[in-house]
């Protein structure tokens, strides 16, 4: 029997989604420990940028970090969608949503460093890093997480474990939770460029026969680009001589941005879609890429994870206020037939 809890919630994975959950629990009355395998500065150093929806902005605003990061975000007032060389463009404008911006673009370090500092200021939140999660034992009244720090193993007792440890989630695998989905025939090449276009407030996506290309504006006349192509073609794109690479990129971006300059290395990753058969089990909940993953077209992956964190924080806070056991799984009548029978 698990007693003498070290925390109410143990969050395995200190990336943006896990850190968002911890930050959102600040005023919940619950205590949390975020277990991250890398030093904080390493976790925040990833060269990646994300499209943020207006709803993600609202979530960060309610948490209390929005004012800190807004000045460092790309902001777009229009979205252009086009089909390869077809001259017609579908345009979305702020009047469609009656908002100042249609969305934002944030670099990984901008969001995560802000969340890290915020969590450091929360009396009920703590970091455990760098720490390797070696296993979890689930019991009726709690869970024991085994972690390794500087070669020494120790146990962390908690009421609920959160898997925010990414698409290859070990917590998901250890719990025997299956996924449904498929691997696409594409990989994505991601990188950052600078350009000469006079305006930098348009996000656009061009749909080619070999895959979509998304272009997201960043501050300082920069853009983050996600270039999708069949696996072998994506690998060839990544290895192109820089001059040839930029020549092809200028063609594929349709000249919208003028002359381009490569600012970062070209990273590559295969595209996958999956959905967990269960997001929760007793004493365990999965969020972000640990629970689901989708094609980057539309830029919804991280936004889904941020919404996961916000929704779970609300559920846990309300359950705690009612004096309920936050690690207990309760199924509604609607879910009984479709989910409980599979547990």
Q: Please tell me the pTM assigned to this model.
A: 0.92
User: Whole-number mean pLDDT of the chain?
Assistant: 92
Q: Is residue 173 domain-resident?
A: yes
Q: Is residue 98 part of a domain?
A: no
Tally of CB atoms within 10 A around 60: 27
Q: How many CB atoms lie within 10 A of CB 231?
A: 15
In a domain, 84, yes or no: no
193 shares its domain with 211:
yes
Question: Has residue 171 got a pLDDT over 90?
Answer: yes
The CATH number given to whatever domain includes residue 139 is 3.50.50.60
State whether 167 and 285 are in the same domain.
Answer: yes
At 27-81, the pLDDT tens digits run: 999 999 999 999 999 999 998 999 999 999 999 999 999 999 999 999 999 999 9
Weakest mean pLDDT among 115-119, 245-249, 267-271, 329-333: 329-333
- 210 within a domain of the structure (yes/no): yes
124 shares a domain with 63: yes
Domain that residue 202 falls in: 184-270
Say if residue 279 is in the same domain as residue 331.
Answer: yes
- Is 37 inside a domain boundary? yes
Shared-domain flag, residues 63 and 190:
no
Name residue, tokens 């997201």: 216
pLDDT digits (tens, 9 = 90+) for 101-124: 999 999 999 999 999 999 999 999
pLDDT range class, residue 338, cuts 50, 70, 90: very low
Domain count, the chain: 2
SS (H, E, C) 239-262: HCCHHHHHHHHHHHCCCCCCCEEE
Decide if 253 is inside a domain: yes
Please report, rounded to a whole number, the percentage of residues in the chain having pLDDT higher than 90: 83
Measured between alpha carbons, how far is residue 310 from residues 57, 101, 154, 184, 304 in Å?
Answer: 12, 22, 30, 29, 10
Clarify whether residues 65 and 151 are in a common domain: yes
């Amino acid at each position: 029997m698990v007693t003498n809890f070290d925390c109410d919630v143990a969050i395995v994975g200190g990336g943006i989604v896990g850190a968002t959950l911890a930050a959102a629990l600040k005023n919940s009355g619950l205590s949390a420990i975020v277990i991250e395998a890398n030093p904080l500065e390493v976790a925040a150093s990833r060269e990646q940028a994300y499209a943020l929806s207006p709803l993600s902005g609202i979530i960060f605003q309610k948490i209390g970090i929005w004012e800190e990061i807004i000045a460092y975000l790309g902001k777009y007032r229009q979205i252009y969608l086009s089909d390869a060389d077809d001259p017609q463009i579908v345009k979305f404008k702020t009047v469609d949503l009656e908002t100042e911006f249609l969305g934002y673009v944030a670099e990984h370090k901008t969001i995560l460093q802000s969340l890290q500092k915020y969590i450091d200021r929360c009396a009920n939140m703590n970091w455990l890093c760098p720490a390797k999660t070696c296993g979890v034992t689930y019991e009726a009244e709690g869970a024991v997480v085994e972690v390794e720090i500087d070669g020494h193993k120790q146990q962390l007792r908690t009421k609920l474990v959160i898997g925010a440890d990414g698409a290859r989630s070990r917590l998901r695998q250890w719990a025997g939770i299956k996924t449904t989905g498929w691997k696409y025939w594409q990989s994505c090449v991601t990188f950052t460029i600078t350009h000469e276009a006079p305006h930098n407030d348009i996000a656009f996506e061009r749909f080619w026969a070999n895959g979509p290309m998304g272009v997201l504006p960043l501050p300082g006349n920069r853009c983050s680009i996600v270039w999708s192509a069949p696996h072998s073609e994506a690998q060839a794109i990544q290895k192109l001589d820089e001059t040839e690479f930029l020549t092809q990129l200028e063609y594929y971006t349709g000249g919208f941005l003028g002359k381009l300059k490569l600012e970062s290395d070209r990273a590559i990753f295969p595209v996958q879609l999956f959905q967990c058969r269960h997001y929760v089990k007793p004493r365990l909940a999965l969020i972000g890429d640990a629970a689901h993953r989708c094609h980057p077209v539309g830029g919804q992956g991280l936004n889904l994870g941020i919404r996961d964190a916000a929704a779970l924080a609300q559920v846990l806070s309300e359950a705690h206020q009612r004096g309920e056991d936050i690690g207990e799984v309760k199924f509604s009548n609607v879910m009984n037939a479709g989910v409980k029978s599979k547990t």
